[in-house]
Structure formats: C-alpha cells, structure tokens
Amino acid sequence: MKYALVVLAAYLLGSIPWGYLVFRRGLGKDIRGLGSRGTGATNVLRLAGWKYALPVLVADVLKAALPVALLLRFGGDRRLALAAALAVALGHCFPVFIHFRGGKAVSTAMGAYAVLSPPLFAVSLAIFAGIISATRLVSLGSLLATLSVPLLAFFWKADAGLGILGTAVFVLVAVRHKDNIRRLLAGRERKLGEKKEIESR
C-alpha cells in the first residue's frame, strides 16, 4: 500500500503541467495546439522565449528532483525512489489534469538523475550540451543524453536499478519524440533558435 500511494502521488506531482499553466497565464493560449504541441520547456522556448521557458524548465526539473531526494533522505528505500522517478516522468508525459497530453520527459528525468547519481547526470548533461552546441538539435541531444544514462548505469556504475529506470525512461522519451525522429531522419528537424510564431486561434 505504501508503494502504491507514493507512486500515485509521484504521478500526480508529475502531472502538474507547468508549461501549459505558464503559457496559458502569460499568453492566454493552449500550448498543446501550437508548435510541437508539447508542454515542455523546449516548445515554450520556441514559441515565447526564455522569459516563459526558464521557469517551466526549473519547475519540471524540481518536480522530479525534490520527491526523489526526499524519498532517499527520509524513506531510505532506493527502489521506491526509482519507481517514483518513473512515475513523475509518466505524469509529465501523460498528465491526468489536462487529458493526458503533456511533455516529453527529458527535464523531469534529468532532475531525477541529478539526485540519483550526480556523476552520471553530469556526463549525460555534457552529452546533451555537446550535441546541441554542435548541431543545435535539441531533440537529438535529448535522445542521446537519455540513451547514455542506462548505458552508463549498466557499464560504468554497475547500477542495475538505475539502468532499468534509464532504459524505461529512454523508451518513453523515444516514443514521445517519434515525430522528431522522423524529421531527424528526413533532415527536416527544427534547430534551436528557429523561433516559431504563435498562431492566432
């Protein structure tokens, strides 16, 4: 029962759609019908700039980092913390509060990884930053950074639990990026800095 309640609470926390809320309050529009239709910071950035994207990014990272840190600090059960991290990512992607249409899980996953394994997080963040710096493709950086986590967890840290979480998260991220993957393969993916104008609705 304890596990089920904690996982449910983590899912509901992950379901808080900060991108949707910030965009709706600031610009009066539903971001799910604009740009990539995701509620994450990248779509907010393309549509409205850093003024709106930065608080969304911080909130999405913290909604994973804080519960995982609290569970490790006061619960002492690493398996429960891993399960909660996945539940937050699922809530972010499929938020119950806005009809299961959310973001792509990258920022929430990175928030959890920063707590679960700071060295591994630092390497994956460096991969993310390096790919974006070289290509300006956020989707490619996101996919390779999240793929690096289970590989590093299994072969560098020998952490099976984190490796399993990382594998599940990468699958989730890949599914949520399926349209991006198609555009990447076709050479038509949008690059960072190519701001998309907000359409009137």
- To the nearest whole percent, how much of the chain has pLDDT over 70? 96
**pTM attached to this predicted model:** 0.92
Angle, in degrees to the nearest 10, between helices 160-176 and 106-116? 170
Band the pLDDT of 198: cuts 50, 70, 90.
Answer: low
Using one digit for the tens of pLDDT, what is the confidence trace for 7-16?
999 999 999 9
Q: What is the pLDDT of residues 94-129, one digit of tens each?
A: 999 999 999 999 999 999 999 999 999 999 999 999
Closest by alpha carbon to 40, among 67, 59, 66, 65?
Answer: 59
Written as one letter, the residue type at 27 is L
- Would you give the DSSP letter of residue 141? H
Pair 184, 137: CB distance under 8 Å: yes
Instruction: With CA atoms as reference, report the closest residue to 117 among 75, 87, 160.
Output: 160
Q: CA–CA separation, 117 vs 112, rounded Å? A: 9
